[in-house]
A and B are shown apart, each in its own frame.
Chain A
Amino acid sequence: MDKEEIINLVENGEVTVSEALSRLRKAYTGTDKTKAELTQNEKVMAVKKQLDSLIGLHSVKELVNEVQAFVEIQQRRSALNLASEPVVLHMIFKGNPGTGKTTVARIIGQLFLAMGVLQKGHLVEVERADLVAEYIGQTAQRTREQLRRAQGGVLFIDEAYSLARGGTRDFGKEAIDTIVKTMEDQRNNLIVILAGYSAPMEAFLQTNPGLRSRFPIVISFPDYSSFELFRIAEQMLLQREYQLTKAARRKLLRIIEELKERDTENFGNARTVRNMIEKAIRKQAVRLVNIPNASRTQLMEITEEDIQEVSDV
Chain B
Amino acid sequence: MKRMIVLGQPNAGKTLFTLNFAAYLDLESVTINFTNYERGCYSKTLSIAEAKSLLVSDTAHHTRDIQTLTLTLPWGKGEKQFELVDTTGLTDGINHDEEIRRAMAQTLRFMRQADIIFHLLDCARIAKVGLLKGIGEIDYQIAQFGQLKRGYLILANKIDLPNAKDGLEKIIQEFPGNRIIRISALTQKGFKEVKNYAKKLL
Which A residues lie at the B interface, using CB under 8 A? 3-4, 7-8, 10-18, 20-22, 24-25, 28-29, 32, 292-296, 298-299
- In the complex, besides A32-B148, A293-B41, 13 extra interface pairs with C-beta distance below 8 angstroms are A11-B101, A13-B94, A13-B96, A17-B90, A17-B91, A18-B136, A18-B138, A18-B141, A21-B141, A25-B141, A292-B42, A293-B39, A298-B40
* B140 smallest CB distance to A (angstroms): 8
* Bound complex: CA A204 to CA B38 (Å): 59
B108 touches A25 (CB 8 A): no
18 A-B interface contacts by CB (under 8 A)? A7-B105, A7-B112, A10-B101, A10-B104, A11-B102, A12-B101, A15-B94, A16-B94, A16-B138, A17-B108, A18-B136, A18-B137, A24-B145, A29-B148, A292-B42, A295-B38, A295-B39, A296-B37
In the assembled complex, the Cα of A7 lies from the Cα of B103 at a distance in Å of 11
B177 within 8 A of A: no
The answer on a CB contact under 8 Å between B148 and A25 is yes
Cβ of B140: which chain A residues have Cβ within 8 Å of it?
A: 18
Verify B102–A295 contact, CB threshold 8 A. no
Interface assignment of B57: CB less than 8 Å from any CB of chain A? no
A10→B108 CA distance, assembly (Å): 9
Q: Which residues of A have CB within 8 Å of B104?
A: 10, 17
B98 near A21 with CB under 8 A, answer no
Distance from A230 Cβ to chain B, minimum over Cβ atoms (Å) = 28
Number of A-B residue pairs having CB atoms within 8 Å of each other in the complex: 76
Alpha-carbon gap, A12 to B95, bound state (A): 10
Instruction: List B contacts of A15 (CB < 8 A).
Output: 94
Give the chain B neighbours of A20 by CB distance below 8 A. Answer: 108
Judge whether B92 is part of the interface by a CB distance below 8 angstroms: yes
Whether a CB of chain A sits under 8 angstroms from the CB of B93 is yes
Contact among B41, B96, B105, B148 with A11 in the assembled complex (CB-CB below 8 Å): B105
A294 touches B40 (CB 8 A): yes
Q: Are A292 and B40 touching (Cβ within 8 A)? A: yes
Q: Give per-residue flags for B39-54: 1 if the beta carbon is below 8 A from chain A beta carbons, else 0.
A: 1111000000000000
Q: CA of A12 to CA of B98 in the docked complex: distance in angstroms? A: 8
Most buried by B among A11, A15, A295, A298: A11
CA of A90 to CA of B39, assembled, Å:
56
Chain B, 107-151, CB within 8 A of any chain A CB: 108-109, 112, 136-138, 140-142, 144-145, 148
Closest-CB distance, A304 to chain B (whole angstroms): 22
Question: Chain A residue with minimal CB distance to B35?
Answer: A296
**What chain A residues lie within 8 Å of B91 (beta carbons)?**
17
Q: Closest 10 interchain pairs by CB?
A: A293-B40, A21-B141, A11-B105, A18-B137, A10-B105, A18-B141, A18-B138, A17-B90, A7-B108, A7-B105
A13 — which chain B residues lie within 8 A by C-beta? 94-96, 98, 101
B37 A295 Cβ-Cβ under 8 A: yes
Within 8 A of A (CB), among B62-81: none
